Structure formats: C-alpha cells, structure tokens
A = this chain, B = another copy of it.
C-alpha cells in the first residue's frame, strides 16, 4: 500500500503533467506544489522511482510510469468523488471542500468508494466541473477550452475553474462564474490583455488574461 504521502506526490505529478505536452514535470514545481523543501522532493522522487511509479532523469524532470499514472488517476477519482459527495449529499459549499477531500481521499477503501460512486449516481463531473476518472482510469470526454481561446459572440457553458484557491473561487462566485452557467465573450483584445464577457443578462465586465485562462468552457 502506498502511504498518503506517496499518493499526494503522485497526484501532484499527474495534475502538473496534464498541463505539459511532454508529461515531464520539474522538481521545483513538485516541491512548490506540495509545499516541501526542494531537497525533500528530490529524495522522495527517488523513492517513487524505486517503487517504479515514476521515471526520473536527474536535473531534467519526472514522468509517471503506467503504474504511477494509474495510481494518480485513482487518487483523482477518489478526490473528485469525495468532493461531489460533500457538496451533493452533505450540502457543503463548493469553495471549501478541497481541503476536506484532501484528507478523506486517503482513508477511503476501494469498496466504500464504489458504493459512494453508485450512491451518487456515477457522476461524470465534480462540483468544480472537473471530470471524474472512471474506475479504469479514463476521463470522461471533454471538449473545453479556456475563455482566452474563445472567439466572441457565441454562448458557452462554464465547465471548470482550474484555480481552486478559495480566493479565486470566491471571486468567481461573486461574478456568477460557476460551472453550469452560460456566458458569452462579448469582446476580446489580446493586445490590452483583456476579455470582456457577459454572464446571463448582467452588465458585461472585463477579465485579465490570467483569470480568463483559468476558466474553462464548452462551446
């Protein structure tokens, strides 16, 4: 059995690698992501290599093996199912469940997880709009892009916010930018680095490119 710590490293490497073409992740990203000293990450990665969960080239980076990817997907599944449960069943607020799930995901057995999945009606997306991997480690199909990539004058549905910090989520909620909501890009100006959009019938407002990038929509 992998320890909770190992599970956390693998999960972090997986989510970081999803943003990278090559799937290769640098030591610094891992250390920063997990809030540990750089040296700690290095030595842990060597462990993970010994357990054949990652491949590691000194001073280059880390990639998941098939085994590591499987574990990572499993952790993502756990995390997202637990989050779904916390919101759907217990009625907690979707801005504050991340940390809770972070703990519970390590404590839940395969059997209980399956029951939970069934109880929740085998959901495909979690409350943030993230797809929940299936038991065999595959994501539900998703065709979504971030707001910065979107042509204007077309209605879109918010699917996912990639920044799950409480601050960002609160900001998003104030603006009505929650998964499921319909929005329209009314104007784009890449020079001034801004995207103007309208949520429902409210007055349009402008978003910087950093924020726009964090908001994924389906078209």
Chain A: residues with CB nearer than 8 A to chain B? 86, 89-92, 100, 103-104, 106-109, 111-112, 115-116, 119
Contact = CB atoms under 8 A, between A and B. Distances in A.
Nearest to A119: B90
A77 to B, nearest CB: 17
Mostly, the A contact residues are helix
B111 A92 contact: yes
A116 to B, nearest CB: 6
A92 B104 contact: no
Contacts of A104: 104, 107-108, 112
Given A103-B107, A106-B107, 11 more contacts: A90-B116, A91-B115, A92-B111, A92-B112, A92-B115, A100-B112, A103-B109, A104-B104, A104-B107, A104-B108, A104-B112
Nearest to A102: B107
Contacts of A116: 90
B108 A90 contact: no
Contacts of A103: 107-109
Nearest to A106: B107
Question: Which are the 7 A-B pairs with shortest beta-carbon distances?
Answer: A107-B107, A90-B115, A103-B107, A104-B107, A100-B112, A100-B109, A90-B119
Name the residue among A89, A90, A108, A115 with the largest chain B CB count within 10 angstroms.
A90
17 contacts: A89-B89, A89-B119, A90-B112, A90-B116, A91-B115, A92-B111, A92-B112, A92-B115, A100-B111, A100-B112, A103-B107, A103-B108, A103-B109, A104-B104, A104-B107, A104-B112, A106-B107
A117 to B, nearest CB: 10
Contacts of A108: 103-104
A14 B77 CA distance: 36
A102 B163 CA distance: 33
A111 B90 CA distance: 10
Contacts of A119: 89-90
A8 to B, nearest CB: 13
Contacts of A90: 112, 115-116, 119
